């Protein structure tokens, strides 16, 4: 047992001594450039967690450092940049996101990538739109198509079975009863066909319509439709609530391919980033399309990341292409400034991005820095630091807000009320149904007035064509004076007039008109 302990101790001592013997930074003093250092001007782009990485390497590899003040970007279009400090050996280590290219490998030393990130697109948060199609979202179009075909098939089967059973019943009873007429049978069949429509739609709309037929085949089909309708209704209602309460925000783009399909979108990039990526891929495929998109807009390139972010405003069609870490910093800064989420990341990224540290060419410290970065990756803490330096606000992480069951002050933590935008689809259906019913009412009214006018015209025409009616007054023959016994005589003319009364239209009144 003692020999085993001595063997393990000797191996550990050998490895430890070997590691210290290969550490060229042990006891050295370095000149370091970190753009986010407090002594540099604000606004320079650089890694946010570069300071803690430098502290880790300093403690791990046992070296000291001093900061070199810079005012330039990494590689500006005009003038000196941070890379010139490394080339001229004015600094020993550049803590920056340096993309590996063939040209850079020829003039400086690059370490193992210390950041493995993906590029993304920064887009403005769209305004919430009316949720009109929420009523059709619970089902995909194949389900709606199948439901429509099922309705047609069930109604057709019920009607065919009803007509067949009526026809067979008519044939069986025709020899016994000769009174049944074709008109009565047709009206009965139409009435029952209407009942089938009401039953199918009533069950589908959960109105509890009952099957009036007592025949077994029809009841079997009706029972199957009742079960199917129950499943459809429950599945629809349970999913509908999710789409009603979900706000509708259509993003400007979802992927890079949406940029090429919409000519109104303006792609923004930072100088010295996407250009290097295009050169590395020889401008082929989608990279060639990106280059054409950038060349079509003279204002597509920005000098700094802050200039590009400043142009991403609500309602604009500008999008910014950059590493996702920089874009998360922009989202967090905008939220801390305004208290609202005006920026968001597109749903799909584009390509992976790796960043390295830069040292002067043939630097003796390159291997030691690379070994320290490997050990840092083994711990996994380099990704965990993002939670410290980039704590994304929960309102801007793109995830649905969860209602936490915890004590909160009055008025806080309550679920938001439904607005008109959530129930726009229901009101659209209501307005459409009312408009359709009003239109049908007007059509029926117009048809009724036209038929009424035709009846009046035909009655007037028949009256005009009939012969005129006259009342003939037949006077009695004159009475001679010699035959009369009185000085005064009265001639009585009886005229029979038929008076139409409301109470008794058959009442006849005899009017006697005295004449002198």
In this model, does residue 430 exceed pLDDT 60?
A: yes
Give the per-residue pLDDT at 362: 92
In this model, does residue 45 exceed pLDDT 80?
A: yes
Segments forming the whole domain that contains residue 212: 133-174+183-245
Tell the burial category of 423 from Cβ atoms under 10 Å away from its Cβ (0-12, 13-18, 19+): middle
Give the per-residue pLDDT at 192: 52
* Residue 109: inside a domain: no
423: Cβ contacts below 8 Å, ≥ 6 apart? 131, 244
Task: Assign 281 a pLDDT band (cuts: 50, 70, 90).
Answer: low
Q: Which two tokens stand for residue 263?
A: 């000519």
* Residue 145: inside a domain: yes
Q: For the residues 220-237, what does the mean pLDDT come to?
A: 83
pLDDT digits (tens, 9 = 90+) for 459-469: 877 777 766 55
Cβ proximity of 330 and 343 under 8 Å:
yes
**Dist CA 477 CA 479 (whole Å):** 7
Nearest 5 degrees, angle CA 69-CA 357-CA 35?
25
In this model, does residue 503 exceed pLDDT 50?
A: no
Q: For the residues 223-239, what does the mean pLDDT come to?
A: 83
Of these ranges, 3-7, 342-346, 386-390, 403-407, the one predicted with the greatest mean pLDDT is 342-346
* Residue 230: inside a domain: yes
Task: Assign 11 a pLDDT band (cuts: 50, 70, 90).
Answer: very low
Q: Which of 117, 138, 120, 420 is nearest to 251 (CA)?
A: 120
pLDDT digits (tens, 9 = 90+) for 49-67: 899 999 999 999 999 999 9
* Residue 376: inside a domain: no
Report the percent of the chain where pLDDT is more than 90: 16
* Residue 219: inside a domain: yes
Total structural domains in the chain?
A: 1
* Residue 167: inside a domain: yes
CA atoms within 13 A on the CB side of 235: 15
Give the per-residue pLDDT at 514: 42
Across 59-63, 151-155, 281-285, 298-302, least confident range = 281-285
Q: For the residues 172-187, what does the mean pLDDT come to?
A: 56
pLDDT digits (tens, 9 = 90+) for 418-428: 667 667 777 77
* Residue 214: inside a domain: yes
In this model, does residue 489 exceed pLDDT 60?
A: no
Q: How far is CA 312 from CA 94, 255, 320, 398, 459, in A?
A: 30, 17, 7, 18, 77
């Amino acid at each position: 047992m003692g020999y085993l302990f001595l063997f393990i101790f000797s191996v550990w001592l050998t490895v430890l001594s070997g590691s210290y013997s290969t550490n060229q930074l042990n006891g050295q003093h370095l000149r370091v450039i970190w753009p986010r250092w407090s002594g540099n001007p604000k606004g320079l782009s650089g890694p946010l967690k570069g300071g803690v990485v430098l502290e880790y390497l300093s403690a791990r590899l046992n070296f000291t450092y001093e900061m070199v003040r810079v005012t330039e970007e990494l590689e500006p279009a005009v003038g000196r940049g941070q890379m010139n400090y490394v080339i001229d050996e004015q600094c020993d280590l550049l803590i920056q996101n340096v993309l590996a290219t063939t040209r850079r490998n020829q003039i400086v030393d690059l370490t193992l990538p210390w950041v493995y990130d993906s590029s993304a697109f920064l887009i403005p948060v769209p305004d919430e739109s009316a949720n009109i199609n929420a009523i059709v979202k619970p089902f995909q179009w194949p389900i709606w198509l199948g439901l429509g075909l099922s309705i047609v098939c069930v109604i057709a089967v019920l009607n065919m079975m009803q007509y067949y059973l009526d026809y067979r019943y008519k044939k069986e009873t025709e020899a016994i009863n000769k009174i049944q007429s074709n008109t009565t049978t047709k009206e009965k069949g139409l009435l029952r066909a209407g009942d089938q429509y009401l039953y199918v739609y009533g069950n589908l709309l959960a109105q509890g319509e009952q099957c009036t037929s007592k025949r077994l085949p029809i009841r079997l089909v009706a029972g199957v439709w009742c079960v199917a309708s129950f499943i459809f209704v429950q599945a629809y209602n349970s999913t509908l609530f999710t789409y009603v309460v979900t706000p509708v925000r259509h993003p400007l783009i979802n992927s890079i391919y949406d940029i090429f399909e919409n000519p109104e979108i303006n792609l923004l990039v930072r100088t010295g980033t996407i250009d290097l990526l295009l050169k590395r891929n020889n401008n082929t495929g989608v990279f060639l399309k990106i280059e054409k998109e950038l060349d079509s807009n003279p204002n597509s390139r920005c000098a700094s990341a802050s200039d590009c972010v400043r142009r991403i405003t609500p309602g604009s069609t500008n999008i910014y292409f950059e590493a996702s870490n920089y874009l998360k910093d922009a989202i967090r800064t905008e939220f801390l400034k305004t208290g609202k989420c005006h920026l968001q990341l597109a749903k799909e990224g584009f390509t992976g991005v790796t960043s390295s540290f830069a040292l002067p060419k043939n630097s003796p410290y390159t291997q030691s820095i690379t070994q320290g970065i490997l050990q840092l990756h083994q711990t996994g803490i380099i990704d965990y630091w993002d939670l410290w330096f980039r704590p994304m606000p929960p309102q801007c992480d793109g995830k649905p807000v969860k209602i936490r069951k915890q004590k909160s002050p009055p008025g806080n933590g309550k679920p938001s009320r439904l607005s008109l935008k959530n129930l726009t689809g229901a009101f659209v259906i209501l307005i459409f149904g009312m408009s359709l019913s009003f239109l049908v009412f007007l059509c029926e009214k117009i048809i009724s007035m036209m038929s009424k006018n035709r009846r009046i015209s035909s009655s007037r025409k028949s009256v005009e064509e009939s012969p005129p009616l006259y009342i003939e007054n037949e006077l009695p023959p004159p009475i001679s004076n010699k035959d009369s016994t009185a000085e005064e005589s009265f001639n009585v003319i009886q005229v029979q007039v038929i008076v139409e009364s409301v109470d008794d239209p058959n009442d006849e009144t005899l009017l006697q008109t005295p004449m002198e």
